[in-house]
Structure 1
Amino acid sequence: MNTSPSSSAEQARKALGARLRELRKDAGLSGRAFADATGQHFTRVSKIENGTQAPTDHDIREWCRVCGADDQTPDLIATLRAVDSAYLEFRRQSRAGMKRVLGAHTSQRYEHTDVFRIYEHNVIPGLFQTAEYMAAMLTFWVGFLGTDDDVDEAVAVRIERQRVIQYGGKRIVALLEEQALRTWFGTAEVQAGQLGRLLELMSQQNISLGIIPLMRERVAVGSAGFWIFDDSLVALETPTASIQVTRPQEIHMYARMFEALKSSAVYGRDARGLIVNVLRELDG
């Protein structure tokens, strides 16, 4: 995956233009005929279809109306809005410190989300992290991104964000690979404290925590961790960027992947047993 925001935006514009061109052709319209029907110059139509000029929301609605494809309007508008905002550079955000590197994970986003679906393969989700675990992880990112050392402030921002767990009406469905239990950030004591925190959270009624054991037959493998906020946004992170997916069709695909991964997870007593086993290994 190319994580250059500018090149990714360009590719996304071209992909959107190609979809609009297909709609026009499926409607049996030439470029000039379509331009006449929508009251614009045919060269602008060409620029939009070739990805050199971005359409507006109005353009999308008119395009779908003229082509008899009104049912595709919501998805195309979501695609348009994601073109230039899908990639949020960590390095650009981190110029003001790690407290600004949040991507989609803002307090406002959390407050407006009713159902969180979270899959992580090698890290404990931020909503469940202890301050010590969080600080150890953020210390690495300070060095990696070359930002100012504001770990204490960044931890405070993230701990404040965790208050959403206590809000009425919030539902958190989390899936962890067993590897996430075994990936250390900081000392053995820090990891043990983090695993103890997981055991505490499992008793909350609004939290469902499943763990996918190692060496288990499974129907799906997640290539990256991802968060689904209600049915409106999917967020995932690379070492250099936060990716936000807003296209309804893509969000649906992530939801399907989440359900496939859930089928390999264990819950309740079995999940607790996996955590306790790792704690025993740490103690040993």
Structure 2
Amino acid sequence: MSNKFEILMNQLDMPLEMRNSEAFLNAEIEKVLVHKVSRVWEFHFSFANILPIEIFRELQKRLAQEFSKTGNQAIFEIHCQNSQLSDELLQAYYQLAFEEGPCASHGFKSLYQDLQVHLDGDKLLIEGASTIDTEHFRKNHLPNLSRQLVKYGFPHLTCQVHHSDELTQQQAENFQAENDKIIQAANEDALKAMESLQQMAPPPEEKPASDFQARKAAAKPNLDKAEITPMIEVQTEENRLVFEGMVFDLEQKVTRTGRVLLNFKMTDYTSSFSLQKWMKNEEEAKKFDMIKK
């Protein structure tokens, strides 16, 4: 342990058993870069071997806490003379990489962090479903993972997804199960909505319809027999169009002039529409109370 490194350990009040461990036996501070504007102190450490994960975390925590007392931030990178490590330590550092920096992005982290890894020469092979091996991750995220591991003392590794048939099948089954849940919930909501509409509908009139009323009723579309158009097929304006779906958002606004604007959104799971209805006043708006989520 060099004098400068020992002084730093005293400042950080590192536990004695860690200071005296083999991990810090040939420890040195190679250089320190002080970024005055951002108030970041960037340490470059040299160790004989990659640190045990608990010692790394303790060093990281104490360094951050000590320098934050003076309004500064401390970060560090590690260079190791020997990069050999156990599978257990490799897995621990792999998961650590997703806790900070660019690897912490939600999409990348949620798909990759819990996967198993192993080394094959200068390659880090990640056991995963074939569906996560996309150009987006290969181009934008896996290089960041490699650079993050270098900061922990690893050599430069090429990160690759090793396709696992078992994980690919498992992901497909999970997707299907989740999709079935969504469809089941949508069907249940649709059934409840139909029951509510039926309860709110006025009773049929007993009196015979006049000739005028008969002609008027004939002019209206018979929704029970109308051809239903999937939303995804609607490309242009239509004079008369029938589609069915789920109302999943609803908002009603009253303007300063008293007019009422009803905004609502519908989906049939092929596509979604935003719809509007203007009404003269709140009294007229009551006719459309049946439109609910």
Q: What's the TM-score, normalizing by structure 1?
A: 0.22
Q: 1 or 2, which has the higher helix percentage?
A: 1
Structure with the largest fraction of strand: 2
* Higher RCO structure (Cα 8 Å, ≥6 apart): 1
Name the TM-score, length of structure 2 as normaliser.
0.21
